[in-house]
Chain A
């Protein structure tokens, strides 16, 4: 079982009346709410938290890409991963990922990911999301109905740039390049493991299965609701005659650990409330732009599309319900272990993207919850998929001998 300590990097200073005063945390959130002086400390604290997770033995530390978003302050995840590449030593760098349809030309992703893989000595997990509609269409202006075609072409170009010797011409519909020539190339051969975070489009299942890429379902609605979607994925895998290695799949989950269940509520409920109330306050008009989802996905009805009335209720869900519905897995180490074991087995996932920093949770609580998890929960779940220990198709292959960051500085002293 692989555990990624995943950061969303939310802005922790959204005002109490945020919901009343503003229609959305994403796309048109007023830029005046951001304060770069406070942001300086926020970024550095958040990076410290990821470095701490590396020290505690998490399998990976994770970042992602969002734009114009009050709960995700990483328009460029590669900048964060670069900072982490030099200050971590063991964990994989899970960049989940670059929205490859947005890079023009997408060869930029091939280059930057290769740089990260080389700097880190082969520790990069390369994420290729289609990108949410808010990021891809509303913030970055991609025509919704062309998003998937652009994505597919960007993917083909990047893989070709990594695996074929350059230079070569690439005559795509959206990219005309006379001399594709990726310098540097990644350490990992044929390329770093590829993770596809999905929001629920069924086309993505076939894409992952056909290429043997990991499929990870990222939602904030917990594993009970995630079941329907992952059941569909595994059904599709069986139809295609693919093996059922749990490492083909991943899931994201908010996790809060304390000494007791009661202490968990006392410590963390206000931050969960901040997250669901303010961070997920997204204007309905910015949910999927028409044309972003394929008709096939809409017809398959795997998304359990929330009605406007249901969506309006979500942010007001009290702690008790958040925990009962497993939107938040919270409690004593034993409670958390039990629930995560249920999550891991029922969804059949080999990768868990653990969200410990929730909303406006301050650093000391993040450290406490993370440490308890690393000491008392993770070791008990580590070997849950022992039968698949040899399946290394979906994981990093670092160099055996790696350079030590700061080597020349030490020599100079």
Chain B
């Protein structure tokens, strides 16, 4: 179970819940569009090797103020403001999926400040030959097969206990989805490309790209597109894992991060 506290950043425009725990090298983690909770098993495992801080973006958990951030630049500066407020010296900056897109934008914007970067199946690029499925037009039952190599595990983690035929449950589900994906849409809707392709050249950080070999949402071919633009990037492909590689093979992800931190 992660500890939780709330900080106010960006001149008072955002309230950010920060999950934190663990000992070891400083690591800041930005979550994907699905968010993260205090009980997140990946963060829990990560905190056994690192001093983890995982800020939640507005709309996720207790974080709020999303209406003040509209564009990718707004959100990139919010990310950097959060990093400042956390007062960690030269952390390993890690992002998964949408969080990877944000971390890459932050590293391109504050290129001299961010020295080590890990992008886990990051969004942010678009290849016409490999269109990314529309995350905003999915029904809940579509998630497990799209996000997981082990579909059964995905069903346990995502759709178990979901009862959309119950009116109260449906309403709570729609409110949460509207808060979370409403904010995510500012980066990802309708096509998750806000021009990162033209900014990646600025990244100076030593970068590690991590992908599940069976990622059906953002296919591993995107790793190649990232590496073509990044000057100093290594690549690790993890077997038997889909887009949620963090949940399917957490130890392999953490081992790769430990090598980058060393």
Could you say which of B144-152, B164-172, B203-211, B239-247 contacts chain A?
Answer: B164-172
Whether the pair A298, B66 counts as a contact (CB closer than 8 A) is no
A144-B182, A307-B170, A308-B165 given; A299·B175 CB < 8 A:
yes
In the bound complex, do residue A307 and residue B167 qualify as a contact, i.e. CB atoms below 8 Å apart? yes
Cβ contact within 8 Å between B165 and A307: yes
B41-49, B184-192, B251-259 - interface stretch: B184-192
Which residues of B are found within 8 Å of A285, using beta-carbon distances?
134, 137-139, 142
> Shortest CB–CB separation between residue B107 and chain A, in angstroms?
24
A262 to B66 alpha-carbon distance, docked (Å): 56
Report Cα–Cα, A319/B180, bound state, in Å: 41
CB-based contact A290/B185 at 8 Å: yes
Number of A-B contacts (CB under 8 A): 79
- Are B171 and A301 in touch, CB under 8 angstroms? yes
Does residue A58 face the partner (Cβ distance < 8 Å to B)?
no
Stretch at the interface among A85-93, A135-143, A328-336: A135-143
Do most interface residues of chain B lie in helix, strand or loop, or is the interface mixed? helix
Asked if B171 and A295 make an inter-chain contact with CB atoms under 8 angstroms apart, the answer reads no
With known contacts A141-B190, A305-B170, A307-B164, A286–B137 Cβ distance under 8 A: yes
B191 to chain A, nearest CB (A): 8
A394 to B184, CA, bound (A): 40
Tell me if A167 counts as interface (CB < 8 A to partner B).
no
B101 CB to closest chain A CB (Å) equals 15
Whether B165 and A290, one on each chain, are in contact in the complex, defined by CB atoms closer than 8 angstroms, is: no
Contact with A along B130-168 (1 / 0, CB 8 A): 000010111100100000000000000000000011110
Contacts of B142 in A (CB 8 A): 285
Q: Are B182 and A145 in contact (CB under 8 A)?
A: yes
Contacts of A261-309 to chain B: CB distance below 8 A: 283-286, 288-293, 295, 298-299, 301, 305, 307-309
Name the A residues within 8 Å of B90 (CB-CB): none
User: Which B residues lie within 8 Å of A290 (CB)?
Assistant: 136, 177-178, 180-182, 184-185
A292 to B139, CA, bound (A): 16
A177 at the interface (CB under 8 A from B): no
A116-148 interface with B by 8 A CB criterion: 137-138, 141, 143-146
- How distant is the Cα of A144 from the Cα of B185 in the complex, in angstroms? 7
Residue B183 at the A interface, CB < 8 A? yes
Instruction: Flag B87-125 by CB within 8 Å of A: 1 or 0 each.
Output: 000000000000000000000000000000000000000
Q: Do residues A298 and B174 form an inter-chain contact, with CB atoms below 8 A?
A: yes
Any A CB within 8 A of the CB of B229: no
The reply to whether A305 and B167 form a contact with Cβ atoms under 8 Å apart is yes
**Please, which residue of chain A has its CB at the minimum distance from the CB of B135?**
A290
Interchain CA distance A138-B183 in the complex, whole Å: 16
Question: Interface of A with B (CB < 8 Å)?
Answer: 137-138, 141, 143-146, 173, 283-286, 288-293, 295, 298-299, 301, 305, 307-309
Apart from A293-B174, A301-B171: 12 A-B pairs, beta carbons within 8 A: A137-B189, A141-B191, A143-B185, A145-B66, A145-B183, A145-B185, A289-B185, A290-B136, A291-B189, A292-B178, A298-B178, A308-B165
List 23 A-B residue pairs with CB atoms under 8 Å apart, sorted by A's residue number: A137-B136, A137-B189, A143-B189, A145-B186, A173-B70, A283-B137, A285-B138, A285-B139, A285-B142, A286-B137, A289-B189, A290-B184, A291-B181, A291-B182, A291-B189, A293-B178, A298-B171, A298-B175, A301-B171, A305-B170, A305-B171, A305-B174, A307-B165
